[in-house]
Structure 1
Amino acid sequence: MIDYTSLYLSPTILFPDYQNMLISFKIYIYTPPNALSLSSPTESNFFTCLQTSPFVTQNPEEAHLYFVPFSSNLSTRSVARFIRGLRMEFPYWNRTLGADHFYVSCACLGYESDRNLVELKKNSVQISRCPVPEGRFVPHKDITFPPLANITRALQSQGNRTAKYLGFVRYNGVKESNLVNELRNDSDFLIESEPSSGMTLVGRLGSSVFCLFEYGADVSGIGEALRFGCVPVVVVDRPMLDLPLMDVIRWQKIAIFVGSRGGVKEVKRVLDPVRFVSYGDVSALAQAARY
């Protein structure tokens, strides 16, 4: 029986599997071809956590997965050369043509003609950042990082929050869309026109019921919204296949999804009925409001 109230898609399967993973799961990290240089803080954080995790083994024979580390600025030719070296030095790549290997690349790899890159892109698991550049995500195998919250200061209890605005739209450094320009003219929405300090952002999150993110722009602030009780609203006009951990988490319980084509009128139609509802019920009611 499916538990639709759970945050997880299959809690009866996930939790036993997770406990078993903590005991037996092993990852072997190949030695990078040169000093590893990761330009993205997300990539660096991932690699640091991986290196210090209990899953790492020095014995490749007992590994379930193999991590292929390469620098963010490494050329595709150099990556291909690295894979070719792994193929010749170790037996593990050839056993599955890279299907039990994974790598991290926030920029994402494109499609190349070199056999080594073709196998890496087609077979290995790519870990990237949401949203992924169009055409560079393979839904049945690739995964994305959950957005990280950069603000560490604790906010007062949610019971003391005073929601002055229906929604908050954070400046993302890109050209603003027609929807954002519409929202700017509506007093129910707070638009951040310039990047703010952490303390200012905490105040804006605390004074807004919802935080709007346009898919395709920077949605990393979802992590901060969740931390401070501001319900994420993802504005997107097509199904999202690259949501973080979407094979595990029921995102409809976390965020609200609304299209942009109806403009501010459609956004308010979805959000207005649930602005005074507790966080735990907001997403479900807003999803129902769309239909």
Structure 2
Amino acid sequence: MAVFLEKPMVKRNSKIAWPHLVGSYVNDEKKLFHDRDAFLDNYKEMNRSLKIYVYPHGRDDPFANVLLPVDFEPEGNYASESYFKKVLTKSHFITKDPSEANLFFLPFSIARLRHDPRVGIDGIQDFIRDYIFNISHQYSYWNRTGGADHFYVACHSIGRSAMDKAVEVKLNAIQVVCSSSYYLSSYVAHKDASLPQIWPRQGDPTNLARERTKLAFFAGSMNSPVREKLLQVWRNDAEISVHFGHLKTSYAEELLASKFCLHVKGFEVNTARIGDALYYGCVPLIIANHYDLPFQDILNWQSFSVVVATLDIPLLKKILKGISIEDYLVLQRNVLKAREHFQWHLSPVDHDAFYMVMYELWLRRSSLRFSA
């Protein structure tokens, strides 16, 4: 389901107007889940029956650093990839019996390959090609489905080109990735899933309930035409605060003081800003066309965010000021509810980021079973 669609303008009394401006950006139902009861029922079944087989590798493997979970607590902008693998391998979803597996996990780490001097950015494609060749000759599982019941996880944007020499992975396997843009030929909507890019943080901010005096906030690098347009239109505005380069005030303080926090496409669509906004109780304002939002099969993003097309940048203030106080309060209440789904824990907690990714995999598992 694509959520970023260019919004048509219509003429009204010979003037250009946006039809039902507020209703277009605030969901009338105001519910966090598309169908909470269905989710909870299926979640229980997933927790009970989903089984995943991880291709085995020992600590004596020459690329153990790439194939095994990290032995430290993940951190940084691309921590989601490492968190998922670290938690998965210790979870009750793992089976040592491939005959009972619903899905097969390809445990290579794109982020670790990127920093391995034996591989590096230029060697990732060859590594993945050779890895698929090896497991398809050593085991029978890949060949039964052409990889359709296999998946891998990657958060760094380099992952979007990592499969160029392993086309069967790109076309058949489930790709759980942060770079979930429809403009990327490597991402296949409905087959693949969006991984939330989350900067790990401990505990909660102490002042989430504070009064928010700023309308909107963005800080980031000037690395895309979309951000250039944002700066061009709003750089001198008193209510929409746009910063490029070094931020003089605390990033956390700016997020806590703002009603809406902007997520704007840079080199890639994926950034940790949505997770940042949710963590600090700020309603995400998402400006990017045609990409899958994390957990959008489960969560109703219109209930806790404002999603606009890039063409809407000159209309941002009109859109935001068209949202009533009542509707804003509903959005923020749902932000506070949604926060739990965008947090990683080394010991997973029901409905946290790990379990939500597992549920997305459950929705995409093959309904066909094959005999060994």
The reply on whether 1:80 has 2:118 as its aligned counterpart is no
Shift of 1:70: 1.8
Partner in structure 2 of residue 289 of structure 1: none
CA distance in 2, matches of 1:57, 1:94: 20
Partner in structure 2 of residue 152 of structure 1: 202
CA distance in 1, matches of 2:164, 2:303: 41
Q: Aligned partner of 1:42: which letter?
A: S
Shift of 1:212: 1.0
Cα 1:241–1:173, aligned 2, differ >3 Å: closer, same or farther? closer
Q: Aligned partner of 1:69: which letter?
A: P
Cα 1:55–1:255, aligned 2, differ >3 Å: closer, same or farther? same
CA distance in 2, matches of 1:277, 1:6: 14
Query: Can you give the 5+ residue segments of structure 1 that lack an aligned partner in the other structure?
Result: 284-291
Shift of 1:224: 1.6
Task: Kindly provide the CA deviation profile for residues 137-195 of structure 1, in whole angstroms up to 9, marking residues without a partner as x.
Answer: 10021112123144435333444x22221100022463541222321110102233345
Partner in structure 2 of residue 70 of structure 1: 108
**Quick check: 1:150–1:224 contact (8 Å CA) kept in 2?**
no
Partner in structure 1 of residue 48 of structure 2: 23
**Quick check: 2:260–2:285 contact (8 Å CA) kept in 1?**
yes
Partner in structure 2 of residue 287 of structure 1: none
- The TM-score, its normalising length taken from structure 1, stands at 0.82
**Quick check: 1:68–1:102 contact (8 Å CA) kept in 2?**
yes
The reply on whether 1:36 has 2:34 as its aligned counterpart is no
Shift of 1:68: 0.8
CA distance in 1, matches of 2:230, 2:222: 16
The reply on whether 1:184 has 2:222 as its aligned counterpart is no
Shift of 1:95: 1.4
Cα 1:59–1:279, aligned 2, differ >3 Å: closer, same or farther? farther
CA distance in 2, matches of 1:130, 1:253: 23
Higher relative contact order (CA 8 A, sep 6+): 2
Pick the aligned partner of 1:224 from 246, 256, 276. Answer: 276
**Quick check: 2:55–2:107 contact (8 Å CA) kept in 1?**
yes
Q: Aligned partner of 2:145: which letter?
A: T
CA distance in 2, matches of 1:276, 1:174: 34
Shift of 1:42: 2.4
Give RMSD over aligned pairs.
Answer: 2.8
**Quick check: 1:169–1:213 contact (8 Å CA) kept in 2?**
yes
CA distance in 2, matches of 1:275, 1:156: 27
Task: Kindly provide the CA deviation profile for residues 189-240 of structure 1, in whole angstroms up to 9, marking residues without a partner as x.
Answer: 223334559x92221111111001113455311112112211100113x3x3
The reply on whether 1:13 has 2:38 as its aligned counterpart is yes
The percentage of counterpart residues that share the same residue type is 29
- The TM-score, its normalising length taken from structure 2, stands at 0.66
CA distance in 2, matches of 1:113, 1:270: 40
The reply on whether 1:50 has 2:75 as its aligned counterpart is no
**Quick check: 1:108–1:126 contact (8 Å CA) kept in 2?**
no
Pick the aligned partner of 1:209 from 259, 270, 273. Answer: 259
CA distance in 2, matches of 1:180, 1:81: 45
Name the SS for the 2:45 alignment partner. Answer: helix
The reply on whether 1:250 has 2:303 as its aligned counterpart is no
Shift of 1:278: 5.8
**Quick check: 1:235–1:259 contact (8 Å CA) kept in 2?**
yes
